[in-house]
Copies of this chain bind each other. A is one copy, B any other.
Amino acid sequence: MVMLGKDLLGIHDLTPDQISLVLDTALSMKEVSAREIKKVPTLRGKTVINLFYEPSTRTRTSFELAGKRLSADVINISAGSSSVVKGETLEDTGRNLQAMNPDLIVLRHASAGAPQLLAKMLPSSIINAGDGAHEHPTQALLDAFTIRERKQTLQGLTVVIAGDITHSRVARSNIDLLLKMGATVRVCGPRTMVPLYIEKMGVTFVPRLEEAIEGADVIMMLRIQMERQRGSLFPSIREYSRFFGLNREKLKHARDDVLIMHPGPVNRGVEISPELLDSPYTIILDQVTNGVAIRMALMYLLIGK
């Protein structure tokens, strides 16, 4: 019987069967959020701690809702605002939280490997909600769920991931998952934002967006960190947008039934033009909806049985 382990640390650790298990479980979880009464007693008496060292209202809210709809007790700890936790090592914070008997700790952290560290030390389950530029497995799983919902399968699809590939945990987790599930992946972005030898990961690098999306089934646009990168890896936002932003003109090169995705929040008019954002091609809000379902599924699979 296929099962998950104690933790969900990255796509790297999952087999295709485990990925399918999560996606299938999320299907029935999605149904719960669509009900009149959006609550099941599955995790009654379980404790979930959201430990966020980087602020992310969106992801935290998604996990909080997932926990509450499963009837868990959810505790939010925003480590940025917490002076006490700040002076402490992650190990010590982890040990102290563990002493309060949580069943699950959801960790977002700026350092790659932080969730692995906690998972090794602590008996409670850990979900990686994003660690540095390393992995963001729940994002990749919700993306896969969203694609499968529209295309029935991931097998045989061509998916383009465009933007700052080097610094994106979303890209890394998605590439890993898509390849495992039999999709073809092309990456696109300024040369300064794509790792050398990226082909060794099993993907193709196509420098021009128009060319990259030729015949693509899915285009995933990555978020530009406006506040961080201005004037460093590319000359200007305007230039980035002109070459690597998606608009109706460039989209002509893709298939008629192409899907446009984005992990959010979108910089309107930078990664995707406003007209495309509001078009039926774009399924960003499906991704958000499915995010709650995927997180419910993971909570159920890790601590619900």
Contact = CB atoms under 8 A, between A and B. Distances in A.
Interface of A: 33-39, 44-47, 49, 55-58, 61-62, 64-65, 68-69, 73, 75, 77, 79, 81-85, 87-89, 92, 95-101, 226, 264-268, 285-286, 288-289, 291-292
Complex copy number for this chain: 3
A69 B73 contact: yes
Contacts of A62: 100
B35 A100 contact: no
A96 B58 contact: yes
Contact of A285 (B46, B56, B96, B226): B96
A198 to B, nearest CB: 28
A288 B99 contact: yes
Nearest to A46: B38
Contact of A68 (B36, B73, B101): B73
A39 B73 contact: yes
Given A35-B45, A101-B38, A101-B289, A84 B96 contact: no
Nearest to A57: B82
Task: Give the 6 A-B residue pairs with the shortest CB-CB distance, closest first.
Answer: A37-B45, A99-B288, A39-B45, A57-B82, A68-B73, A99-B285
Contacts of A84: 55-58, 265
Contacts of A85: 57-58, 265
A65 B73 contact: yes
Given A35-B45, A96-B288, 9 more contacts: A33-B100, A36-B45, A38-B101, A55-B81, A64-B75, A65-B73, A89-B268, A99-B289, A100-B292
A95 B44 CA distance: 30
A75 B82 contact: no
A118 B68 CA distance: 24
A70 to B, nearest CB: 11
5 contacts: A47-B69, A57-B77, A64-B75, A92-B265, A101-B292
